[in-house]
Amino acid sequence: MKKVLFATTALVATAGVAAADVTFGGYGRFGIYYDELTDSTDITSRFRLQIDATAETDGGVTVGARVRIQQNNTDTGAHGGGMGPTAGPAGTGINGVRFFARSGGFELGVGNIFGALEFMPGMYPIDLGLTGLGYDYTAYNFRADAYSSGGNGSAGSNGVEVLYSAGDLSVHVSASDTSDRVAAHIAYTWNGWTFALGGQDSDNAGDTEMAVSVGGSFGPADVTLAYADNGTGGDRIVLAGRFDVGAATNIEVYYADDEFLDDSYGIDFNHDLGGGVSLRGGVASRFGDRTVADLGVRFNF
């Protein structure tokens, strides 16, 4: 992450504010992607630039905003639709903004919100391969509000959320006009294990109604077990793990069972090359008995 500090009167127009803090970060990735459905192997790439801007009041309240500029090789327009990592084509441009105010363990967010179920511990237990390979290991299956990297997310539908943390306890409540969603989760970490419980009320019968997860270290492996009741979309349960096989290499695996679909499972490797650069690859059998695989390089900055 790179930081640029602006402290001029031209950039800070509000009296009593000493400076604005702007942080740039993100990642790039490129490689190959195989999909059995199309029986093709193609180039895959993504560049993401994240910008976080904050200012602090005299009373110690941090006020800020987050935006992303993202380009995938498959993008076709300036902005795309949907939420979550598997959202539709979204071209280069600034996504919906998430504004926030933070003090101590309390945070208020509006706009392109994170979403209480999306942000719940255990919903992203691993990051498979170079691209995520479909994210079948996400138990809530993107049936709730989520931060959108390539679109407005809930920024255009009155998204609002409250986050609070105190020691090992955290609480997150979110709401939006999208299907009149109201969601919440509570999480607690005890003896190295994190337990989380979430729920949602929505006008959409296909939205997630309840989710629960537990994750921690079991011997040499970090393991997560997650379950979600996705309404008319059916139940989904996911078991995932990550373990080191050397000083610079780890392996991730998952198995997912869905009420209405064939099982999904996958395995990957991540090898750290140093300097924020890693070699990544994986293979997964997705729901519907569809094999996908990828291999490539990711660099964080």
Would you state the pLDDT for residue 256?
A: 98
Residue 21 sits at the vertex; the CA angle it makes with 20 and 23, to the nearest 5 degrees, is 145
Would you state the pLDDT for residue 76?
A: 72
Contact 94, 163 (CB under 8 A): no
Contact 178, 154 (CB under 8 A): yes
Would you state the pLDDT for residue 9?
A: 33
Domain that holds residue 286: 2-300
Give the CATH number, domain containing residue 90: 2.40.160.10
pLDDT in tens, the chain (301 residues): 555 443 333 343 444 445 579 999 999 999 999 999 999 999 999 999 999 999 999 999 999 999 999 999 988 765 444 444 545 455 668 999 999 999 999 999 999 999 999 999 999 999 999 999 999 999 999 999 999 998 899 998 999 999 999 999 999 999 999 999 999 999 999 999 999 999 999 999 999 999 999 999 988 999 999 999 999 999 999 999 999 999 999 999 999 999 999 999 999 999 999 999 999 999 999 999 999 999 999 999 9
pLDDT per residue over 176-201, tens digit each? 999 999 999 999 999 999 999 999 99
Total domains present in the chain: 1
Decide: pTM greater than 0.85.
Answer: yes
Would you state the pLDDT for residue 78?
A: 52
Would you state the pLDDT for residue 13?
A: 41
2: phi then psi, degrees, rounded to nearest 5? -110, 140
Contacts of 247 (CB under 8 A, 6+ apart): none
Please provide the size of the chain in residues. Answer: 301
SS3 content of the chain, % helix, strand, coil (to 5): 5, 55, 40
Q: Which two tokens stand for residue 126?
A: 């691993």
User: How many Å separate Cα 288 from the centre of its chain?
Assistant: 24
